[in-house]
Structure 1
Amino acid sequence: MNARLQRIWVLVRLAVALLVGSRFGWGWGLLTLGLHAGVLALGFVQLRWVNRPAPGWGQLLRAWAGEVVASELAFSWRQPWREWAVADHLPAGAGAGVLLVHGFACNRGRWNGWLKRLRAQGVAVVAPSLEPAFGSIDAYADEIEAGVRRLLAHTGAMPVLCAHSMGGLALRAWWRRHGAGHAAAPRVITLGSPHQGTRMAALGLGANARQMRRGSDWLAALPGLDDVDAFWTPCDQVVNPAETAILPGSRPHRVDAVGHMGLVQSDEAWACLQQALQASGRQTALAGAASSLSTPRRI
């Protein structure tokens, strides 16, 4: 559903730009097509008053420029047209796995870059598309559980869970429903997740947007997670004030001069995932060695 809605949006934007260009000149048509960049700029400017300490104008400018590119790639190409361009990967002999969980109004195409890189490394990786697009975040728990179970069955170990934006709350909702069925808690990495809600959710549509509002009863009742790296940026035009992306008790990581979508492209987040995979691989190897030693040999 997300991909279909975004394809419609892309075609509407193009149609409006062509109409304006044909009537008033192609320069105006191109300007119409780029209006989203101006709207994004407003989101970054308001951070000068929302976040304390306020990010500098130079940081905001760099974040805005990167976000124009990142959002255009995501919402005009990868998500509407390339949702399934990179398939899930379950290679033989994989000792570690990753579950990638997208955010609000997105789909698995958001992770195409990471999917390609993880496939090249021989890592088992699953990336679901969460539906319904504007339903309750609780509705995504079973789809996440299915992905976790696929990776558990294939690798024998709990996967590393990496989530962008609303996906971090979806993981917490999943753990509330299915956590009792797992022997080990997961290693979790969240990128710009509104763990404490966000002001911008008031502008969103659907039950999931209402759940992400600051002070919502649903958010207050949501449990935490024990082993979390929470990435945040003072230039986040979607999740703000900036500190709302930090889950209490987590390991916070600040990334400067990137916007909300840009966190997925950050080198810091990728390095954290690599470290988590190495730790997961070591634990799996130790568990396998312990199992081998405890198994009596025939003489």
Structure 2
Amino acid sequence: MNARLQRIWVLLRLAVALLVGWRFGWGWGLLTLGAHAAVLALGFVQLRWVNRPAPGWGQLLRAWGHEVVASELAFSWRQPWREWAEADHLPAGAQTGVLLVHGFGCNRGRWNGWMKKLRAQGTAFVAPSMEPAFGSIDAYADEIEAGVRKLEALTGRTPVLCAHSMGGLALRAWWRKYGTGHAAPPRVITLGSPHGGTRMARFGQGRNAKQMRLRSPWLAELPAVTDVDCFWTPCDQIVNPAETAILPGSRAHRVDGVGHMGLVHSDAAWRCLQTALTDSSFSTPRRI
């Protein structure tokens, strides 16, 4: 569903830009096409008053520039048109696996860069596109469980679970429903996940957006997971205040100069995943 909606949005933006360009001049058409960058800028400016300590203007400017590129790559190309460009990878004999869980308003195309690299190194992965797009986060638990079981059957080990944004909450909802069926807690990496909720959820549509509001009753009932690396940024224009992206008891990793979407392009997050895969290949017994 998200891919279809985003294709419509891309075509609508192009149509409006062409109309404005034809009527008022092509320079104005280009400015219309880039109007989203101005809207993004407002999200970063407000962080000067929301986060304490406040990120510097230099950090915010750098994050905004990266976010313009990252958001265009995600919402204008990978998610609407390239959702299945990288199929799930389940090679025979794989020793480790990764489950990749996208966030609100996204689909599996969000992970195309990571999936390409994981395939090149021979790591098994599954990346679901979670539906319904605007339904309850609890509804994603079954699909996550199916992916985990598929990777466990292939590798004999629990996969590393990596999630962006709302995906981190979906993993905790999955653990609430299916945790008792697993021998040990999984290794989890979350990138900009609103573990404590976010101010921006009040502007979102759907039941999942309501569940992500600050101090929502649904969030208060979610269980914690114990082996977690939380990546967060003081320049996160979507998940703020910034500390809400840190799950109590987790290993917190601060990334400066990037926005919410840019966390998926973080070298530090990718290195953390590689370390987790190395650790899991030795620390988790392979089931025969």
TM over 0.5, shorter chain:
yes
Name 1:230's counterpart in structure 2. 230
Matched, 1:197 2:197: yes
Equivalent residue, structure 2, for 1:35: 35
SS of the residue 2:68 aligns to = helix
Counterpart of 1:81 in structure 2: which amino acid?
Answer: W
- Residues of 2 paired with 1:216 and 1:275: CA distance? 34
What is aligned with 1:126? 126
The Cα offsets for residues 32-62 of structure 1, whole Å up to 9 and x where unpaired, read as: 0000000000000000010000000000000
> C-alpha distance in 2, partners of 1:269/1:171?
18
1:60-209 alignment to 2 at 5 Å?
60-209=60-209
For residues 24 and 141 of structure 1, the distance between their equivalents in structure 2, rounded to whole angstroms, comes to 50
Structure 1 segments unaligned to the other structure (5+ residues): 293-299
2:214 match: 214
CA distance in 1, matches of 2:166, 2:281: 28
1:186 match: secondary structure = coil
Counterparts of 2:19 and 2:222, CA distance in 1: 47
Provide the rounded CA distance (Å) in 2 between the counterparts of 1:257 and 1:161.
25
2:5 corresponds to: 5
Q: Distance in 2 between matches of 1:157 and 1:52?
A: 41
Larger radius of gyration: 1
Compute the TM-score of the two structures, normalised by the length of structure 1.
0.95
Alignment size in residue pairs: 288
Q: CA RMSD in A?
A: 0.9
The percent identity for this pair of structures is 81
Aligned to 2:246: 246
SS in structure 2 of the partner of residue 179 of structure 1: helix
Distance 1:254 1:93 in 2: 35
Q: Deviations over 1:46-79 (max 9, x none)?
A: 0001000000000000000000000000000000
Instruction: Measure how far apart 1:93 and its partner are.
Output: 1.0
For residues 174 and 160 of structure 1, the distance between their equivalents in structure 2, rounded to whole angstroms, comes to: 14
Counterpart CA distance in 1 for 2:185 and 2:52 is 34
CA drift at 1:283:
2.1
Structure 2 residues not aligned, in runs of 5+: none
Tell me which residue corresponds to 1:56: 56
Q: What is the distance in 1 between the residues matched to 2:197 and 2:276? A: 26
